[in-house]
Amino acid sequence: MAEADPQKTFNVHEAKTQFSRLVDRAHAGEEIIVAKAGVPYAKLVPIEPVAKRKRTPGGLTVLGEIPDSVWFDPLPDDELEMWEGKRLEKHGL
């Protein structure tokens, strides 16, 4: 394992004490190493910002054309009973 920069390495107790300051340093671009008994265990690094894409209404094309029967056919009796809560009543719930 490579040697960590001592100026950027903090043992757990010290890291807990200075956590807010270390998070600010990581946010500014530094990589902070958290060590346990001098052995590097974890690294605080800045998160890369997520690029937001502009949403386009009607952009879902995965499903293709949805037939009218999906919307207008009656539900099967067992599914209708679940929606109306009757199935739970049958089982005493």
Give me the pLDDT at residue 93, please: 56
pTM here? 0.48
Give me the pLDDT at residue 91, please: 57
Please give, one letter per residue, the 3-state secondary structure of 37-59.
CCEEEEEECCCCCCCCCCCCCCC
Q: CATH fold of 6-44, please? A: YefM-like fold (3.40.1620)
Sites in the chain below the pLDDT cut of 70 = 1-6, 60, 62-63, 87-93
Give me the pLDDT at residue 67, please: 74
Starting at the earlier edge strand, list the strands of the sheet with 9-11. 9-11, 32-36, 39-44
Q: Delimit the domains of the chain by residue range.
A: 6-44
Give me the pLDDT at residue 5, please: 66
Give me the pLDDT at residue 81, please: 86
Give me the pLDDT at residue 41, please: 94
Give me the pLDDT at residue 25, please: 94
